[in-house]
């Protein structure tokens, strides 16, 4: 399923359907595309705004939607809906989603992360609802899960799998979970925050959420820079470049990252009895040929009654899974 080209036409988009905006809010960047009968187009992206007022990020999203419409040659007033796939966790205020995301809100971790704001939450849904007629905001893991079940790697014979997960290995670690045919939400819609699992006793790494040594603190894109910058790997690109060049230390580090991530995937399987996990995200996607076999070997052979019938695959929607995740929320 790796590298499959995915044309928007294969979604059977009905003629005459009004365009929708697809918004992907991550810890590193915000991306907006327009989807209509001509496909996914007009993509614009910027680094995620993390300073100013608590509404700054929502205003950035509104501005980028305008730019994306302009680039696609449509008016913003022709948009039928806006789908927003965002990193979490979410907090609900007056029924509207705000972000309590440690990679964005500097007021959450309380120390050491250097974010230039003191936000406990960032506004998101309420300003968008004032600007657009129909808005749906979901966790990006859930959005990508829905896209992968409809159009990507989490299908069997054209039908969505009943027991599956989507895992993003990116700036942070996010997940969407589906058991017995239903996407899990939980008491505040925050099910799937399993990037904050503890799977190891490593106590050197501080997570943005305040945890010490959870999975995101150990292996996420932003963790690689923080943990291994001082040994010469300024970011994940530098680490993997060194690995491909045969650097022994880089190989040890990549193996340890995969050990931790493999344990997180295994933990999902034994908790939920899954059939398949689809993996994407910027860290994973660029190095999937290296990483997938290592992740598989971290799961294989452990508790075969649960793992034997579960496969790990790369996201069928590839690097576009974030855009399609937002799209899945509104079509």
**Consecutive H or E run containing 86:** strand 81-86
In this complex, which beta carbon is closest to a second copy, that of residue 34 or of residue 105? 105
Beta-carbon neighbour count of residue 303 at 10 Å? 11
- Tell me how far, at minimum, the Cβ of 36 lies from a second copy, in Å: 33
In this complex, which beta carbon is closest to a second copy, that of residue 42 or of residue 262? 262
Question: 53 by DSSP, 3-state: which?
Answer: coil
Contacts of 192 (CB under 8 A, 6+ apart): 139, 141, 142, 165, 174, 175, 176, 177, 184
Torsion over CA of 118, 97, 162 and 197, rounded to 10 degrees? 20
In this complex, which beta carbon is closest to a second copy, that of residue 42 or of residue 195? 195
In this complex, which beta carbon is closest to a second copy, that of residue 196 or of residue 227? 196
- Tell me how far, at minimum, the Cβ of 275 lies from a second copy, in Å: 5
In this complex, which beta carbon is closest to a second copy, that of residue 76 or of residue 117? 117
Distance CA 94, CA 169 (A): 32
- Tell me how far, at minimum, the Cβ of 178 lies from a second copy, in Å: 10
In this complex, which beta carbon is closest to a second copy, that of residue 120 or of residue 319? 120
In this complex, which beta carbon is closest to a second copy, that of residue 216 or of residue 323? 216
Q: Which residues bind a second copy (CB under 8 A)?
A: 89-91, 100, 162-163, 177, 179-180, 182, 184-194, 196-202, 209-211, 263, 266-268, 270-275, 301-303, 305-306, 309-310
Distance CA 59, CA 123 (A): 9
Q: Tokens representing 202?
A: 């490593």
- Tell me how far, at minimum, the Cβ of 10 lies from a second copy, in Å: 27
- Tell me how far, at minimum, the Cβ of 147 lies from a second copy, in Å: 20
- Tell me how far, at minimum, the Cβ of 226 lies from a second copy, in Å: 18
- Tell me how far, at minimum, the Cβ of 157 lies from a second copy, in Å: 16
Partners of 91 in the β-ladder: 98
Partners of 311 in the β-ladder: 276
In this complex, which beta carbon is closest to a second copy, that of residue 272 or of residue 291? 272
Torsion over CA of 14, 19, 20 and 21, rounded to 10 degrees? 140
DSSP 61-76: HHHHHHHHHHHHT--G
Beta-carbon neighbour count of residue 189 at 10 Å? 17
In this complex, which beta carbon is closest to a second copy, that of residue 266 or of residue 285? 266
Cβ atoms of residues 175 and 196 within 8 Å: no
DSSP code of residue 303: S
Q: Which residue do the tokens 């700054």 mark?
A: 56
- Tell me how far, at minimum, the Cβ of 253 lies from a second copy, in Å: 16
**Consecutive H or E run containing 40:** strand 39-47
- Tell me how far, at minimum, the Cβ of 88 lies from a second copy, in Å: 8
Beta-carbon neighbour count of residue 75 at 10 Å? 11
């Amino acid at each position: 399923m790796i590298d499959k080209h995915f044309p928007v036409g294969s979604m059977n988009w009905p003629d005459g359907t009004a365009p929708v905006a697809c918004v992907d809010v991550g810890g590193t960047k915000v991306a907006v595309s327009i989807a209509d009968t001509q496909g996914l187009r007009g993509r614009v992206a910027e680094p995620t705004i993390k300073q100013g007022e608590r509404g700054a990020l929502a205003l950035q999203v509104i501005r980028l939607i305008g730019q994306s419409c302009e680039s696609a040659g449509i008016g913003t007033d022709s948009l039928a809906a806006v789908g927003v796939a965002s990193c979490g966790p979410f907090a609900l205020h007056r029924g509207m989603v705000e972000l309590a995301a440690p990679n964005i809100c500097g007021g959450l971790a309380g120390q050491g992360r250097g974010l230039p704001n003191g936000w406990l939450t960032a506004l998101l849904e309420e300003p968008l609802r004032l600007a657009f007629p129909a808005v749906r905001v979901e966790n990006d893991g859930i959005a990508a899960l829905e896209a992968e079940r409809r159009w990507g790697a989490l299908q069997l014979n054209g039908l969505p799998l009943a027991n599956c997960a989507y895992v993003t290995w990116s700036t942070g670690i996010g997940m969407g979970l589906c058991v017995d045919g239903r996407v899990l939400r939980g008491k505040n819609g925050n099910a799937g925050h399993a990037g904050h699992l503890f799977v190891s006793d490593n106590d050197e790494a501080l997570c943005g959420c305040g945890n010490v040594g959870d999975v995101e603190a150990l292996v996420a894109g932003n963790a690689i820079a923080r943990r291994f910058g001082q040994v010469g790997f300024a970011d994940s690109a530098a680490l993997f470049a060194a690995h491909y060049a045969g650097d022994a230390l880089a190989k040890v580090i990549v193996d340890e990252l995969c050990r931790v991530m493999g344990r997180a995937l295994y933990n999902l399987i034994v908790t939920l009895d899954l059939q398949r996990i689809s993996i994407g995200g910027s860290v994973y996607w660029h190095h999937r040929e290296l990483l997938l076999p290592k992740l598989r070997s971290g799961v294989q052979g452990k508790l075969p009654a649960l793992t034997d019938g579960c496969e790990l695959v790369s996201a069928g929607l590839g690097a576009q899974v974030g855009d399609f995740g937002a799209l899945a929320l509104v079509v």
